Amino acid sequence: MTMQRFQDKVALITGASSGIGAASAQRLAAEGARVFGLGRDGDGLAATAQAIDAAGGTATMHSADIGKSSECQAAVAACLERYGQLDVLVNCAGGHVFRALHEITEELWLQDLAVNLGGAFFLCQAAMPELRKTGGNIVNIGSLASVEGQAYSATYCSAKHGVLGLTRALAVEFLNTNVRVNAVCPGGTNTPQIGKVGMPDGADFDLIMRTAGARGMSEAEDIAAVIAFVASDEARAVHGAVYMADQGKTAG
Ligand SMILES: NC(=O)c1ccc[n+]([C@@H]2O[C@H](COP(=O)([O-])OP(=O)(O)OC[C@H]3O[C@@H](n4cnc5c(N)ncnc54)[C@H](O)[C@@H]3O)[C@@H](O)[C@H]2O)c1
Ligand 1 atom at minimal distance to the Cα of residue 194: 1
**Could you give the maximum distance between any two Cα atoms of the chain, in Å?**
53
Q: What is the pLDDT of residue 214?
A: 87
**In this prediction, what percent of the chain has a pLDDT beyond 90?**
96
Ligand 1 centre to CA of 176 (Å) is 32
Q: What is the pLDDT of residue 19?
A: 98
pLDDT value at 187 more than 90: yes
Q: Going by CA atoms, what residue is nearest to atom 20 of ligand 1?
A: 19
Of the ranges 98-102, 171-175, 196-200, 219-223, which one carries the lowest mean pLDDT score? 196-200
Residue type, 64: A
Q: Residue 140: helix, strand or coil by DSSP?
A: strand
Q: Residue 2: helix, strand or coil by DSSP?
A: coil
Q: Which residues line ligand 1 (CB under 6 A)?
A: 14-15, 17-21, 39-41, 44, 64-67, 92-96, 115, 141, 143-144, 186, 188-189, 191-194
Catalytic residue numbers? 156
What mean pLDDT comes out for the span 94-98?
97
Q: What is the pLDDT of residue 3?
A: 87
Ligand 1 centre to CA of 1 (Å) is 30
Return the exposure string of 85-107: e unless at least 16 CB atoms fall within 10 Å of the residue's CB, then b: ebbbbbbbbbbbbbbeeeeeeee
Options 3.40.50.720, 3.40.309.10, 3.90.1150.200, 3.40.640.10; CATH of 10-245? 3.40.50.720
So where are the chain's domains?
Answer: 10-245
Instruction: Please tell me which residue, 172 or 195, carries the higher pLDDT value.
Output: 172
The partner residues of 10 in beta bridges, in order of sequence, read 34
pLDDT value at 9 more than 80: yes
pLDDT value at 122 more than 70: yes
Q: What is the pLDDT of residue 2?
A: 74
